[in-house]
């Protein structure tokens, strides 16, 4: 129904209508989106190359791809592991599992890459696992902590790109304090009011210029008095988690104590502090202006690039439209060519079938050999002499033993290729059959010699017929009268000896019955003997009488032989008759 037999029902080929229903495509289980609405997934001997972590991520993908009650077929040495809730066992021996319904059918997100077994194919490459990266980051922080503790560095903090504190060294309560409200580790929110402006300016400058920034003589209010510090902000040299972080160092210079009785701040101190804040504000404003100008330049450059990209996209879109029209035209031409090609393929297939049936109907064994004496094609009758199958096409003919006596096909074929002369031989097989073998060059449509054609024509029956004809020729020329008669006595054969002995011509005798040549008084006895011959009771010879065309009665000696058919049934008798004397 779906296959048709070739090579005497030992090989089968799928029908064309079924083959055209199949679609083949490459699919990467790790990177590509999965197919959906599948009835069966066959994934044999792939999971053994993957680590359990990746296997655990693939089974939900299989569950998502299958239809309700879909089947999953894995290798005999593979298992589902702990994914027993997604599939149920249908066949434990052959590892066939059925998709369980009623579960979430959301497509799982595969956080790839993950570790893969060392036996995996080269295409499945690994990256550093997340646990290893986390361990390296911890080691980096431990290294920084060790350096700070051994160097007796002043109080400092390390901040990330979002200005959040990630590490604190020493006592920083004089410079930083938790902000009121929800817990926050942003250094600007935790900085003392008099430090916040200077600190923001230094951080912005150090992050932008990627170098150390120092602010000296910064006054900070502390318990009713002031302390003067040198503020240093510098990038942290490192890799991994430390990359892009800044270190803020607080170095005390001197502390101004308050008096027992508070006094009003001096005017000069206030003016000096305001001038300092104004200077910081100007610097921040200048930095902000420069950053804004830089951003504007970048935006202008980006805008120009976007316009250029837009023009290129417009041009590309027009090219795509043109290409689409060309592809549509090519697709139509391809469809036409494909239809014509399909018609040619069908015609070629039909011609091939006709040629095969023609070669087999000739009852002549034919084998086609190429220039290297390899088998190109053969007919069914050749199998009687050389045991070939369709899978032997392309193999040297010298690899096969033949049933022919003293005949080497390869030697004669090479001789034909050498002098391009057709050769004929009469060969005999080991089972007593005779064949007329002909070897001739194989010519292409361009009249190029491309091999040898060997034919085997069975001449066994012809040889036997020729031998029988020779024997009949001897019988026809015999001087004794030889007659063949059927069960009713009708004469069916009459030789020249019978014509000379009895005077009847062959045409006259073939219209007569043997009773016409037996005298009345001897007819009953002679006919009884003929009847016994038909029942199988033969005898060596008898003496009887015959009447010639002239009415003369002859005494003759008669030998009777049974004539049998292919079923060993007697369908006639042969009588060999010779004159003893003239009875009259």
The third-level CATH classification (topology) of the domain covering 3-99 is Rossmann fold (3.40.50)
List, as own/partner pairs, every contact residues 322-325 make where C-beta atoms lie below 8 angstroms and the sequence separation is at least 24, other chains included.
none
Whole-number Å distance between alpha carbons of 569 and 572? 9
Average pLDDT over residues 360-376: 86
Q: Of 3.40.50.460, 3.30.450.20, 3.40.91.10, 3.40.190.10, which CATH number belongs to 362-463? A: 3.30.450.20
126-137, pLDDT tens digit by residue? 444 555 455 555
For 67, residues 6+ apart whose C-beta sits below 8 A from its C-beta are 37, 38, 39, 99
Longest CA–CA separation in the chain, Å: 195
Whole-number Å distance between alpha carbons of 67 and 69? 6
Sign of the alpha-carbon torsion through 571, 572, 573, 574:
negative
Per-residue model confidence (pLDDT) at position 113:
38
pTM of the model: 0.34
Query: Which pLDDT band, with edges at 50, 70 and 90, does 439 fall under?
Result: very high
For 353, residues 6+ apart whose C-beta sits below 8 A from its C-beta are none
Q: How many CA atoms lie within 13 A of 540 on its CB side?
A: 0
Per-residue model confidence (pLDDT) at position 268:
72
From the DSSP assignment, how many helices (H) and strands (E) are in the chain?
A: 11, 21
User: Dihedrals φ, ψ of 208, to 5°?
Assistant: -75, -40
Query: Could you say which architecture CATH assigns to the domain 145-258?
Result: 2-Layer Sandwich (3.30)
For 239, residues 6+ apart whose C-beta sits below 8 A from its C-beta are 140
Q: In the sheet that 449-458 helps form, which strands lie side by side, from edge to edge? A: 375-378, 364-369, 449-458, 434-443, 423-428
Q: 417-426, 545-554, 571-580: which has the minimum mean pLDDT?
A: 571-580
Higher-confidence residue of 516 and 274: namely 516
Query: Which pLDDT band, with edges at 50, 70 and 90, does 566 fall under?
Result: low
Identify the helix (H) or strand (E) that includes residue 301.
Answer: helix 267-361
Per-residue model confidence (pLDDT) at position 266:
59
Q: 49-53, 221-225, 550-554, 574-578: which has the minimum mean pLDDT?
A: 221-225
Token code pair at residue 176: 């930083």
**CB 144 within 8 Å of CB 238:** yes
**CB 191 within 8 Å of CB 175:** yes
CATH number of 477-582: 3.30.450.20
Q: Which candidate, 475, 472, 438, places its Cα nearest to that of 453?
A: 438
Whole-number Å distance between alpha carbons of 528 and 525? 5
Whole-number Å distance between alpha carbons of 381 and 458? 10
Per-residue model confidence (pLDDT) at position 441:
93
**CB 47 within 8 Å of CB 141:** no
User: Can you say how many angstroms the Cα of residue 225 is from the centroid of all Cα atoms in its chain?
Assistant: 85
Sign of the alpha-carbon torsion through 461, 462, 467, 468:
positive
- Buried b vs exposed e over 123-148: b needs ≥16 C-beta within 10 Å? eeeeeeeeeeeeeeeeebbeebeeeb
50-78, pLDDT tens digit by residue? 888 888 888 888 998 899 889 999 988 88
Q: Which candidate, 100, 91, 27, places its Cα nearest to that of 59?
A: 100
**What mean pLDDT, rounded, does the chain reach?**
80
Whole-number Å distance between alpha carbons of 49 and 47? 5
Q: Which candidate, 302, 300, 286, places its Cα nearest to that of 204?
A: 286
**CB 146 within 8 Å of CB 138:** no
CA end-to-end span of the chain: 84
92-102, pLDDT tens digit by residue? 888 999 998 76
Bond before 113 cis per omega within 30 degrees: yes
Query: Which pLDDT band, with edges at 50, 70 and 90, does 261 fall under?
Result: very low
Q: What angle do CA 539, 543, 547 make, to 5 degrees?
A: 125
Which residue matches tokens 């390899």? Answer: 374
For 561, residues 6+ apart whose C-beta sits below 8 A from its C-beta are 538, 573, 574, 575, 576
């Amino acid at each position: 129904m779906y296959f048709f037999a070739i090579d005497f029902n030992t090989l089968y080929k799928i029908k064309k209508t079924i083959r055209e229903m199949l679609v083949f495509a490459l699919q990467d289980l790790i990177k590509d989106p999965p197919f959906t609405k599948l009835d069966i997934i066959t994934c044999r001997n792939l999971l053994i190359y993957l680590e359990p972590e990746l296997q655990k991520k693939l089974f939900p993908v299989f569950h998502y791809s299958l239809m309700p009650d879909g089947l999953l077929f894995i290798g005999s040495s593979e298992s589902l592991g702990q994914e027993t809730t997604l599939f149920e066992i249908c066949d434990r021996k052959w590892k066939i599992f059925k998709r369980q319904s009623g579960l979430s059918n959301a497509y799982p997100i595969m956080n790839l890459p993950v570790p893969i077994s060392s036996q995996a194919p080269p295409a499945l490459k690994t990256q550093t696992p997340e646990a290893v990266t986390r361990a390296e980051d911890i080691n980096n922080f431990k290294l920084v902590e060790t350096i700070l503790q051994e160097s007796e560095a002043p109080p400092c903090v390390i901040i990330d790109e979002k200005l959040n504190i990630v590490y604190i060294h020493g006592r920083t309560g004089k410079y930083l304090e938790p902000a009121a409200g929800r817990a926050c580790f942003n250094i600007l929110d935790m900085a003392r009011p008099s430090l916040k402006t200077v600190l923001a300016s230094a951080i912005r400058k150090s992050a932008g210029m990627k170098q150390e920034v120092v602010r000296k003589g910064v006054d900070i209010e502390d318990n009713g008095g002031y302390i003067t510090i040198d503020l240093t902000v510098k990038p942290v040299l490192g890799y991994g988690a430390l990359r892009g972080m800044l270190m803020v160092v607080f170095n005390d210079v001197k502390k101004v104590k308050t008096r027992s009785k508070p006094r009003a701040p001096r005017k000069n101190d206030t003016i000096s502090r305001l001038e300092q804040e104004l200077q910081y504000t100007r610097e921040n404003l200048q930095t902000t202006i420069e950053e804004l100008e830089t951003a504007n330049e970048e935006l202008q450059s980006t805008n120009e690039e976007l316009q250029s990209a837009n023009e290129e996209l417009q041009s590309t879109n027009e090219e795509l439209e043109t290409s689409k029209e060309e592809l549509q035209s090519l697709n139509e031409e391809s469809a036409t060519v494909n239809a014509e090609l399909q018609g040619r393929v069908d015609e070629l297939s039909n011609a091939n079938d006709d040629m095969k049936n023609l070669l087999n109907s000739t009852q002549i064994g034919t084998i086609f050999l190429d220039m290297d004496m390899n088998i190109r094609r053969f007919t069914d009758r050749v199998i009687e002499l050389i045991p070939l199958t369709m899978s032997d096409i392309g193999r040297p003919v010298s690899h096969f033993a033949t049933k022919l006596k003293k005949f080497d096909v390869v030697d004669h074929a090479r001789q034909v290729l050498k002098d391009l002369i057709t050769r004929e031989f009469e060969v005999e097989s080991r089972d007593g059959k005779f064949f007329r073998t002909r070897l001739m060059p194989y010519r292409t449509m361009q009249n190029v010699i491309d091999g040898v054609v060997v034919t085997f024509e069975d001449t066994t029956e012809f040889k036997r017929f020729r031998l029988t004809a020779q024997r009949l020729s001897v019988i026809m020329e015999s001087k004794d009268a030889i007659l063949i008669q059927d069960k009713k006595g009708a004469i069916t054969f009459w030789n020249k000896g019978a014509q000379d002995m009895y005077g009847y011509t062959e045409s006259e005798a073939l219209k007569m019955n043997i009773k016409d040549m037996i005298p009345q008084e001897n007819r009953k006895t002679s006919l009884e003997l003929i009847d016994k011959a038909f029942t199988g009771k033969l005898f060596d010879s008898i003496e009887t009488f015959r009447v010639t065309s002239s009415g003369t009665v002859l005494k003759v000696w008669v030998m009777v032989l049974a004539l049998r058919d292919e079923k060993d049934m007697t369908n006639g008798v042969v009588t060999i008759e010779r004159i003893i004397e003239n009875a009259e």
